[in-house]
Amino acid sequence: MVAPARNIALLFPGQGSQHPGMGRSLAESSPAAGNILARAEAVLGGDFVRVLFEGPEEALKQTAVAQPAIYTVSAMAFAALVERSPDIMGRCACAAGHSLGEYSALHAGNVFDFNTGLKLVEYRGQFIRDCCDEIPGTMAAVVGVEKEALAGLCRESANGRGACEMVNFNSPGQIVVAGTREAVAALVEKASALPGARCVPLNVSGAFHSSLMAGAARKMAGVLQGASLRDAEFPVLTNADARPETGAEAFRKKLVSQIDHPVLWEDSVVNMTGMGAEIFIELGPGKVLAGLMRRIDRSKKCWAVGDGESLEAAAAALE
């Protein structure tokens, strides 16, 4: 019997993809997804499911709420896909998650069980929230400015205003910057004046993945030191260096560094294609990563699975 080709890459979204109602359709259409939701409810309480399904949106945007919510819905989508297409694990070449999504990718790779990951994500959200409260910051997406030129603008904007750093390299021509509110405002003004450039301030509560998150990284290191992690069943590309890893100890270190270091998403996708990935499946709320995939490599097939309908479409395409 010929083994199935390992040509599927699993993608997991990060904060910003949340929306009221996410997960409801998956729970209704998949017993496996419903089981994941019940486990989350047992840990986080019944109010968690109410906010997940009904909002309000402002409550769901809060970092300490959004992170366990997105992790839960991503795990639900993954469980539903495995239930619907049991051979998916044997066909998986690799996985990656954007920011928070790295925890979802590691759960899929069996580095830790759902409950362990949920507690880790809870801590992560709390530590990042505390850091944001202590050191207010913000972020902005910059389109149409080359990396070297943007690095120079960041240095100029940071002068006397605090940190201003490139933190998300999402796709060709799109880079996200983060830092103090004053520094990022100065960066937006400078970059917007360049021909062909466009800046979009992001509605976020802090300067994620910047040096301003160092306090959260230190606290997370202490939690991860006592966490039970296993080697992954397939390679997971990590945000901090876009390299495939399978070792538990490597993940323990890189989950710390990803908090206050840039997300190398474009490089991660390019490296996944180099590992033989031809089919990409985003698992979780929204279609942000599927959209980025089209900008990075339009030649690859990509599906986003976030509800019962999209689950059936992806599963049928994989048959």
pLDDT at site 2: 46
pLDDT at site 203: 79
CA 311, 120, 132 angle in degrees (round to 5)? 100
pLDDT at site 3: 58
Residue 160 belongs to a domain: yes
Task: Work out the average pLDDT over 31-44.
Answer: 96
Give the helix/strand (H/E) hosting 170. Answer: strand 164-171
pTM over 0.85, yes/no: yes
| Nearest of 268, 266, 238 to residue 111 by alpha carbon | 238
Residues 157 and 37 grouped into a single domain: no
Indicate the residue type of 139.
M
**What is the per-residue pLDDT across 43-95, written as a single tens digit (0 to 9) for each?**
998 799 999 999 999 899 888 899 999 999 999 999 999 999 999 999 999 99
Residues 127 and 180 grouped into a single domain: no
Task: Work out the average pLDDT over 151-162.
Answer: 96
Six-digit token pair at 192? Answer: 């917007």
pLDDT at site 61: 87
Residue 1 belongs to a domain: no
Six-digit token pair at 97? Answer: 């998650």
Instruction: Mark which of 190, 205, 220 sits at the end of a domain.
Output: 205
Residues 227 and 264 grouped into a single domain: yes
The active-site residue, picked from 74, 99, 171, 310, is 99
Residue 250 belongs to a domain: yes
Residues 108 and 246 grouped into a single domain: yes
Number of CB atoms found within 10 A of residue 114's CB: 20
Answer yes or no: is pLDDT of 195 > 80: yes
Spatial distance between the Cα atoms of 178 and 163, rounded to a whole number of angstroms: 8
Answer yes or no: is pLDDT of 107 > 90: yes
Residues 75 and 113 grouped into a single domain: yes
pLDDT at site 205: 84
Instruction: Mark which of 205, 234, 253 sits at the end of a domain.
Output: 205
Spatial distance between the Cα atoms of 38 and 60, rounded to a whole number of angstroms: 19
The active-site residue, picked from 98, 107, 209, 261, is 209
Answer yes or no: is pLDDT of 1 > 70: no
Mean pLDDT (the chain) is: 95
Residue 98 structural domain: 8-132+212-318
Instruction: Mark which of 172, 205, 238 sits at the end of a domain.
Output: 205
Residues 102 and 140 grouped into a single domain: no
* Domains: count for the chain: 2
| Nearest of 175, 193, 165 to residue 260 by alpha carbon | 165
Residues 246 and 177 grouped into a single domain: no
Strands lying side by side in the sheet with 244-245: 244-245, 236-237, 92-97, 8-12, 279-283, 301-305
Answer yes or no: is pLDDT of 5 > 60: yes
Residues 124 and 239 grouped into a single domain: yes
Model confidence band, residue 122 (pLDDT cutoffs 50, 70, 90):
very high
| Nearest of 285, 275, 278 to residue 307 by alpha carbon | 285
Residues 98 and 22 grouped into a single domain: yes
Residue 2 belongs to a domain: no
Task: Kindly give, in sequence order, each residue whose CB lies less than 8 Å from that of residue 274, ignoring residues fewer than 6 positions away.
Answer: none
- DSSP helix/strand/coil, 8: strand
Residues 102 and 239 grouped into a single domain: yes
Indicate the residue type of 189.
E
Spatial distance between the Cα atoms of 145 and 133, rounded to a whole number of angstroms: 31
Is 19 one of the catalytic residues? no
Task: Kindly give, in sequence order, each residue whose CB lies less than 8 Å from that of residue 218, ignoring residues fewer than 6 positions away.
Answer: none
Can you give the CATH number for the domain in which 193 is found? 3.30.70.250
pLDDT at site 4: 67
Residues 195 and 246 grouped into a single domain: no
Residues 224 and 120 grouped into a single domain: yes
Residue 3 belongs to a domain: no
**What is the per-residue pLDDT across 283-302, written as a single tens digit (0 to 9) for each?**
999 999 999 999 999 999 99
pLDDT at site 85: 94
Answer yes or no: is pLDDT of 187 > 80: yes
